[in-house]
Structure 1
């Protein structure tokens, strides 16, 4: 006997790569394929450290501030291999291809233009290149792509205002939200409120990182001072059950990235990621891969991980996919098509093939 469960038989599980979903937490450089990193580094003459030359994800959980500073150095090294317009277009094209292969019908790619502008004739030129490349990549891969312009917590809040004003110029042209990333232990969240107000007045929703390296107080600040519609991570909110209820009542979604949380030492094991508590409280959750280059796994693997460690059945996994779609900033027709695809996936007997193309293709 082969030991495999017959298609549709007891214990059979549906293919998660065929589950239509939206990916709302993916950073530009961190989306890079490893072989692309190596090729671009060789061409640019960038010497990669051993942890980036290997196709195994680097070990980040150490005494060095629980891995964050080492992560940031590696991320900056990876970013340094990008020098040409073709590099930017290649990364976005490959990211869109990878998302399509994993069932994502909508991708929101996060990028901080200040990290790239010096090499690409300034912030405006880089963002225009990025938006054009993102649109082209999505069209080629058959998925929708939106762009989150993100400010950097480690830079001055005035820089964030500059980025917010830049982002508002491209509302309706690919920019769908305004974010705040990097080490949330740096700077005061409240100081970035004016930048988020600029974005909000132009109709751009706020999607700051919070509740990862800091606890519930960081989540509350993101919601109260920045008007967050979604939170990058937000998992530390589970330390305060009342806060979870507040997030659920307000419909503030959390972009939970299990592999990232463990790699950075936020939690020691995937079983400790408080996804069940968040779901039980009614908090909308969208799974994300964060930076696959450094954390070693992409979006479908996050669904597989929570299936295995938290025992989520296919109905619960379909619920996560629905939450990712409804919490996205995709056009309504794209949301409706993807949601129908989720229903079709769940209605198909386990083990039977499902073609998500009609659900995941871009308009």
Structure 2
């Protein structure tokens, strides 16, 4: 059956591209701003979501980063950080997600909780708690910033390696984010080597603000398991073939691509070309706080691009297989994707830590 009768909210899926601050509900950031006496930009208090300029130019990226920094400044301690993790899991559960990999740079919150180690441990502890209480397992991706020195990335990689694990409430991956026009990819290779030795998924950003060459450099220097975005690999067929050959999953975020001006319209996002090239895909929401769309809307966007229910099921399977969720829970979720497609009820979902390593 290829109709559009099945709800994407009921489709089991994994969410692999969601940033910590960017995951916040707009009501939450407004409430935290009042609590801490912080004045937010009008773009976060008036008409929402904010209208963003083209981030493919420097001024557009500066506007995006200014809003992101304003929201991050409202996170002032442990209670705020725990709330963000809890609400992200709740929102994902409401959209049919079985597994969330929440990406965080602990240096951003370290000044309020006594350092990068306590900051990460707070996130991990709350991830364990919400995973035990609900149907969504939450793993954590530690992300370095391209805006800072590569030596700092090595420090974060060692911290991530120390907390590496395979279940909910563990560090499951290591990433590299922020403006990809800054820094040289090769300079971050030593940090990724540390993460690789620890068995972490390697999940750097690349190929959204820059073109296909940025994707190729990411493949060559970091040997990633997944690439955040990577959509502009389609600009060079050889690069797209290289991504497919490497088996790297692309974390495609259509809402982000359009909001940041990478593509003018949702119909321009090259999702179908990527899938037809044999590249695994996991849809992600990136920063719902600023882009105004969550995970289910990315699947709705794919449906608008012509993906039928079988195609949506394929995208969901790509997200589950590209994740670091425990094998038993992945198998159960994949079976429930088949049940969704066949119109059968899914199996009862148990708390996400049941039957998984502690």
TM-score above 0.5, yes or no: yes
Alpha-carbon shift at residue 13 of structure 1 (Å) = 1.8
CA distance, structure 1, for counterparts of residue 46 and residue 311 of structure 2 = 35
Contact 1:23/1:324, CA 8 A, preserved across alignment: yes
Q: Deviations over 1:201-227 (max 9, x none)?
A: 111121000000111111111111111
Residue of structure 1 in register with 2:31 after alignment: 39
| 8 Å contact kept, 1:89–1:137 | no
Helix, strand or coil at the partner of 1:358 = coil
Q: Give the 3-state SS of the residue equivalent to 2:17 in structure 1.
A: strand
- SS of the aligned residue for 1:81 comes to coil
Equivalent position to 2:225, from 220, 225, 229: 229
Two-structure CA RMSD over aligned residues (Å): 1.7
Structure 1: unaligned runs, 5 residues or longer:
1-7
From 116, 126, 131, the counterpart of 2:124 = 131
| 1:48 counterpart (34, 37, 40) | 40
TM-score, normalised on structure 1?
0.93
Residue 120 (structure 1) aligns with: 113
Matched residue, 2:84:
91
Mapping 1:91-240, distance limit 5 Å: 91-172=84-165, 174-240=170-236
> In 2, distance between residues paired with 1:187 and 1:227?
17
| Offset from partner CA, 1:98-153 (integer Å, 9 cap, x none) | 00110000000000111111111000111111110111122223211110000000
- Alpha carbons 1:111, 1:148 under 8 Å: kept: yes
Matched position secondary structure for 2:349? helix
CA offsets, 1:54-94, max 9 Å, x none?
36111112586373211111011101111121111111111
Aligned match for 1:295, one of 288, 291, 294: 291
1:54 & 1:257 partners in 2: Cα distance? 25
Moved over 4 A (4+): 354-357, 359-362
Deviation track 1:253-295 (CA, whole Å, cap 9, x = no partner) reads: 0000001001101111111111111011000000000000000
Number of residue equivalences: 350
Shift of the 103–359 alpha-carbon distance from structure 1 to 2, 3 Å rule, reads farther
Contact map agreement 2:131 2:352 (CA 8 A) in 1: no
Q: For residue 261 of structure 1, what is the aligned residue in structure 2?
A: 257
Unaligned 5+ segments in structure 2 are none
Q: Flag the 1:61–1:147 CA change in 2: closer, same or farther, 3 A.
A: same
Aligned match of 2:316: 321
Does the aligned pair in 1 maintain the 2:133–2:351 contact within 8 Å?
no
